[in-house]
A and B are shown apart, each in its own frame.
Chain A
Amino acid sequence: KNQVEQSPQSLIILEGKNCTLQCNYTVSPFSNLRWYKQDTGRGPVSLTIMTFSENTKSNGRYTATLDADTKQSSLHITASQLSDSASYICVVSDRGSTLGRLYFGRGTQLTVWP
């Protein structure tokens, strides 16, 4: 069964600290993996997208890694800010259709305290 599992479910850190969010998937075949940030009451916003051949991608203070062999990805946030408080969603796309079906994780709820 194609699944995307994220951990931890929630995380609280102090402003300025770093953190790493995990994503494990069983989606096959694999096309690409995306990380989204979703602020409360808003739609998700794309942070990074990685294909099979890419093992790291950065977007400012966000760095995503991908190990396609172990089917794991991580999102590292450096020097966290209060505005980083949000849900971070891992999404995996297969190659099974023209649409490239997306499998969504439930997200990690990150709270940054001052």
Chain B
Amino acid sequence: EADIYQTPRYLVIGTGKKITLECSQTMGHDKMYWYQQDPGMELHLIHYSYGVNSTEKGDLSSESTVSRIRTEHFPLTLESARPSHTSQYLCASSDDPGQGGRDTQYFGPGTRLTVL
């Protein structure tokens, strides 16, 4: 079982609300990621981080923002939620064993967000 946690697990909110999805890991991994996944669809990378104070946008354009002030913490924020943001959000982290990209990603349980 991976030591990566996400809260809340489920969130139902109204349009226009500001929300923050929490993600933390206790494995000391430098690399962290946020993915968005709709039912029956593939995961899409929306944000990633190489380490503290490093954040980059992923392949899928997202109105969310992230921060990496501490190694173990990688929160995702939506300033004004809309129904189009309804999805599952998965956080992951990975080590870097120096094996040419063979780092294993460990995923959190996900947050299922519903915006009404």
Output the least CB separation between A29 and chain B (Å): 11
Q: Smallest distance from the beta carbon of A7 to chain B beta carbons, Å?
A: 14
Is B92 in the interface zone, CB < 8 Å from A?
Answer: yes
Quick one: which of A56-114 are within 8 Å of B by CB?
A: 89, 93, 95, 98-102, 104-107, 109
Question: In the bound complex, do residue B90 and residue A46 qualify as a contact, i.e. CB atoms below 8 Å apart?
Answer: no
B13-21, B61-69, B74-82, B102-110: which lies at the interface: B102-110
Closest A residue to B103 by CB, please name it.
A100
The count of chain B contact residues (Cβ–Cβ below 8 Å) is 27
Task: Give the interface residue-count category, chain A.
Answer: 20 to 34
- Dominant SS among interface residues on chain A: loop
- Judged by a CB distance under 8 angstroms, whether B45 is at the interface is yes
Verify A99–B48 contact, CB threshold 8 A.
yes
A5 to chain B, nearest CB (A): 10
Q: Does A13 interact with chain B (Cβ within 8 Å)?
A: no
User: CB distance B101 to A95 under 8 Å?
Assistant: yes
Distance from B48 Cβ to chain A, minimum over Cβ atoms (Å): 7
- Interface residue ranges of B29-82 to A (CB < 8 Å): 31, 40-45, 48, 50, 59
Q: In the assembled complex, which residues on chain A have CB atoms less than 8 Å from the CB atom of B110?
A: 41-43
Interface on A for B, CB 8 Å cutoff? 4, 31-32, 41-46, 49, 51, 89, 93, 95, 98-102, 104-107, 109
